[in-house]
Structure 1
Amino acid sequence: MLAAMPPTPTTPPEPGEAPIRDRGDACPGALRLHAAADGLLARLRLPAGRLTSRQVSVLADAAERMGDGCLSVTSRGNAELRGLRDGCGAGLAALLADAGLLPSPTHERVRNIVASPAAGLDGLGHADVQLWARALDAALCAEPRAAALSGRFLFALDDGRGDVAGLGGDVTLIAAPDGAMLLTAGTETFRLPAAPPAPGRAGAAPAGETGTAAGTGAVPAVSAALVCALAFLDTAEAAGNGAWRPRELPAGQRPDWAGALARAGIGAEPVPSFSPPPAPLPPAPGPLGDRALHVLAPLGRLTAGRLRALAEGADEVRLTPWRGVVVVGPSADRLPALAAHGLVTDPADPRTGVTACTGTPGCAKSLADVRADAARAPGGPLPVHYSGCERRCGHPHGARIEVTALDPDTYLLDGVPVPRTALAEAVAAARTKPMES
């Protein structure tokens, strides 16, 4: 999350104990705006990061007319509008609803679904999980009880390439080569049998085919994911500690995932030795197959001009958990035009892998203008994240260099205070060191 939210009051747990959430989740949404130092903030849930070209244009207009002129991409592939003026809530909601970006006012904050952004585009992976994401979104919005999920509860749908399975999903589905699925809920993993293909179809949609949910494994995937989410809600209600995610449940109070799947008629075989793959390094920018491109948004920010450039000639765009954008439709000859708008299109660009929280002046809790310092970050193979305080909002998963402000002129790097004047040199050295995920 890029936004610096005030912590929801929580009773501090004893070592090894689960937290007690004294109030509901205050995570912002499209209808629940957050008052930040730079104005109001809206967070838009975009399942699988997917936007049509028209929706991209609508968000560009909204950013210019109502906000600071930019769209921020979050570490879950969602989007934020910042610097929104007072009194804009009703107008923003109407604009989003008209563009199809607000399908359910009651469920808009729980539509947290990341999916392999390149699924169906480059010939890799075992299923088009982008279709799974659309079906899961519809099922979530249609289930009244799902509205009780926290705005932090995360579904991850991996097409088998291992790009989003390590992003800390609360319910994760991984496509297997034989058409089966691995489902991880909390700390338990199950193998779900392959679904029979729909009549007239041989299996998953070919790369680039729009298709429907039928024949792609979407139906059993969606059913299993939703069953597990509702099982978590049952256990969280019984536990009484206000848990937002399975990891926050008290010891000894874990959902009966296997029982819930069995009662729903979903065959599930436990996989006791499964370990989720570690979060990989962010994918490099450049061509993606023969009809898509992957570019990065510098520090996760897309100006209105950049948004319009991305929408031009695109069938759709997909925001990614790495503050990037997959543009479906254009070929590689479009890269120079996108680079001219300031987007990162070259893996050698020093801005690759550099992220930052909002920092000052946008966040009142930040101790430094981290975006200004991150913009001067030297290149290197490891990602680096700049944080304005110890909360480290918006940090990526996996191996990374953490740079945390201690005051406006001092940062903490690898546990060592570093003066701001020496920060670039220290980061350059740190980004080239071997590092465990």
Structure 2
Amino acid sequence: MLAAMSSAALRPSSQATAVSRDRSDACPGTLRLHAADDGALARVRIPGGVLTLGQAEALADATQRLGDGDLHLTSRGNVQVRGLADGCGAELAELLTAAGLLPSRGHERVRNIVASPLSGLDNHGLLDVRPWLSALDTALCASEPAQALSGRFLFALDDGRGDLAGLEADVTVRATADGGAQLALGSAGRALHVSSQDAPRAALAAAEAFLEAGRAGGTRVWRVAELALGADELTESVGHRLTVEGIGHERQARETGRSHGPLPGAVGDALSVHVPLGRLSAPQWRELTRAALGELRLTPWRGVVLPTPGTTAVRRTEALARLDAVGLVTGPGSPWLRVGACIGRPGCAKSRADVRADATAALDAGGALAASGSGRHQGLPLYWSGCERRCGHPRGERIDVVAAPEGGYRLSVVAPGHDEARTVPLDDPSRLAAALAEIT
């Protein structure tokens, strides 16, 4: 068991955005379902997005037998099963347990781990993070304190290419050129350098230090950004905990980067596809499992990476053609790569519009311009939301398209130097290109 953190007082800081939650985290899982307008919803944590073919088949079986028949990808590489009937929770849990997708009932909502999806499959990473992933997930499920983590707390394992840097994970472990690893907390402050061997243990120690810091502050918080601490104060506390645990470390400047997923197509020893709006039908899922060798890797950008080591170029081309034929994005030129949306109507009672239908109509009418915008904000992600909560929106710069109370939508740019209060109305989705030209 990890030793207790120092009892030294942690000073509040005006640099932090302090939040005190007055309730427990209600984030859904597979044992705690969420009641939506289209039926109950289960969120299945898939650490690193990695699924064996057997697990992929079990998920498909679960949604076809109990849900709406589709699998819904999340912005953390997890899977949601929607449209579940009342009283099916026990059967769903049994199916997932048999497939190895529920190794610890006490930890099922806290296994939020994203990992570089192309790690070990191309030549751009510094190391293969799969051993980190296995070790961290095992340690997480063995930690009694970790059961208190929020279902929103996020670990990120970056193989050094910097693809996860913009996800604002609570704990990020990034491979470094010297063969070690950098441990960073939240999105600001300095980092700690540890050995590659100690990286998974250090990540868990950081999460447990976060829990202790929340208790010391007398508040209930879900994410690192909510702690009433300065950017480096939690890092100092984590450093002390690592010392107690016998994990060598030293401070260093944090490496930066931007969140970006692999482009669709053949890349390294893999195929990459994008899933429009993150919704996978049964035929699409079957084609994905047919093309993969051994496993699938779901990405935080609602895509899927299919390892294909040893596969000939001809076979890979044929597989991409089959994936394209079932409606998946297999090339880098698709406007769908920058378009996302919450579930909207009819699945969510809070939504003011069927945002997915409107996003599709706008894309059909406006082509690539609808996805990329124009001017200095050209290329920003375009995210459609049914209300101001903006569930599932991408981190960082984007263009928000939010359903308005009076009907239609309001567009705004979320980017440094841009006034988010400035909005442009959109009464007809087919006129999106004109609204984008005005807002950007």
Measured against the shorter chain, the TM-score band is 0.7 to 0.9
Residue aligning to 2:417: none
Q: Distance in 2 between matches of 1:421 and 1:306?
A: 27
Deviations 1:173-206 (A, max 9, x none): 1101220111102344334244xxxxxxxxxxxx
Residue 356 of structure 1: which of 334, 341, 344 is its match? 341
Residue 234 of structure 1: which of 208, 212, 232 is its match? 212
Aligned-pair CA distance for 1:53 = 1.0
Deviations 1:104-159 (A, max 9, x none): 00000000000000000011110111321121111100111111111011001111
Aligned-pair CA distance for 1:374 = 1.3
Aligned-pair CA distance for 1:413 = 0.8
- Alignment CA distance shift 1:364-1:138 (3 Å): same
**Residue identity opposite 1:383 in structure 2:** P
Aligned-pair CA distance for 1:20 = 1.7
Q: Are the equivalent residues in 2 in contact too, given 1:61–1:304 (CA < 8 A)? A: no
Deviations 1:248-306 (A, max 9, x none): 112469431211111111121112x43532334x43211121x3100011110011111
Residue aligning to 1:393: 391
Q: What TM-score comes out, normalization by structure 1 length?
A: 0.85
Q: Which has the higher helix share?
A: 2
Instruction: Trace 1:8-47 onto structure 2 (pairs within 5 A).
Output: 18-47=18-47
Stretch of structure 1 that moved more, 401-410 or 76-85: 401-410
Structure 2 SS opposite 1:110: coil
Q: Does 1:190 align with 2:191?
A: yes
- Alignment CA distance shift 1:316-1:408 (3 Å): farther
Q: Are the equivalent residues in 2 in contact too, given 1:60–1:305 (CA < 8 A)? A: no
- Alignment CA distance shift 1:87-1:163 (3 Å): same
**Residue identity opposite 1:130 in structure 2:** R
Instruction: Trace 1:36-435 onto structure 2 (pairs within 5 A).
Output: 36-186=36-186, 187-194=188-195, 217=196, 219-251=197-229, 254-255=233-234, 256-271=237-252, 273-274=253-254, 276-280=256-260, 282-289=261-268, 291-314=269-292, 315-329=294-308, 331-376=316-361, 377=363, 378-379=367-368, 380=372, 381-407=379-405, 409-414=407-412, 415-426=423-434, 429=437
Q: Are the equivalent residues in 2 in contact too, given 1:411–1:423 (CA < 8 A)? A: no
Q: Distance in 1 between matches of 2:406 and 2:383?
A: 16
**Residue identity opposite 1:237 in structure 2:** R
- Alignment CA distance shift 1:394-1:238 (3 Å): same
- Alignment CA distance shift 1:17-1:306 (3 Å): closer
Stretch of structure 1 that moved more, 408-417 or 339-348: 408-417
**Residue identity opposite 1:278 in structure 2:** R
Q: Distance in 1 between matches of 2:119 and 2:27?
A: 29
Structure 1 SS opposite 2:198: helix
Q: Distance in 1 between matches of 2:15 and 2:145?
A: 32
CA RMSD of aligned residues (A): 2.1
Q: Are the equivalent residues in 2 in contact too, given 1:182–1:189 (CA < 8 A)? A: no
Aligned-pair CA distance for 1:422 = 4.9
Stretch of structure 1 that moved more, 153-162 or 410-419: 410-419
**Residue identity opposite 1:270 in structure 2:** R
Q: Distance in 1 between matches of 2:124 and 2:406?
A: 45
Aligned-pair CA distance for 1:313 = 4.3
Structure 1 SS opposite 2:243: helix
Stretches of structure 1 that go unaligned for 5 or more consecutive residues are 1-13, 195-216
Q: Are the equivalent residues in 1 in contact too, given 2:70–2:282 (CA < 8 A)? A: yes
- Alignment CA distance shift 1:345-1:17 (3 Å): closer
Aligned-pair CA distance for 1:19 = 2.0
- Alignment CA distance shift 1:430-1:259 (3 Å): farther
- Alignment CA distance shift 1:224-1:401 (3 Å): same
Q: Distance in 2 between matches of 1:362 and 1:427?
A: 27
Stretches of structure 2 that go unaligned for 5 or more consecutive residues are 1-13, 373-378, 413-422
- Alignment CA distance shift 1:34-1:48 (3 Å): same
Q: Are the equivalent residues in 2 in contact too, given 1:370–1:388 (CA < 8 A)? A: yes
Q: Are the equivalent residues in 2 in contact too, given 1:286–1:332 (CA < 8 A)? A: no
- Alignment CA distance shift 1:423-1:283 (3 Å): farther
Aligned-pair CA distance for 1:350 = 2.4
Q: Distance in 2 between matches of 1:141 and 1:300?
A: 28
Deviations 1:191-248 (A, max 9, x none): 4244xxxxxxxxxxxxxxxxxxxxxx3x411111011111111111121210111211
Aligned-pair CA distance for 1:17 = 5.8
Q: What TM-score comes out, normalization by structure 2 length?
A: 0.85
Q: Are the equivalent residues in 2 in contact too, given 1:369–1:408 (CA < 8 A)? A: no
Residue aligning to 2:419: none
Q: Are the equivalent residues in 1 in contact too, given 2:16–2:230 (CA < 8 A)? A: no
Residue aligning to 2:11: none
How many residue pairs get aligned? The number is 393
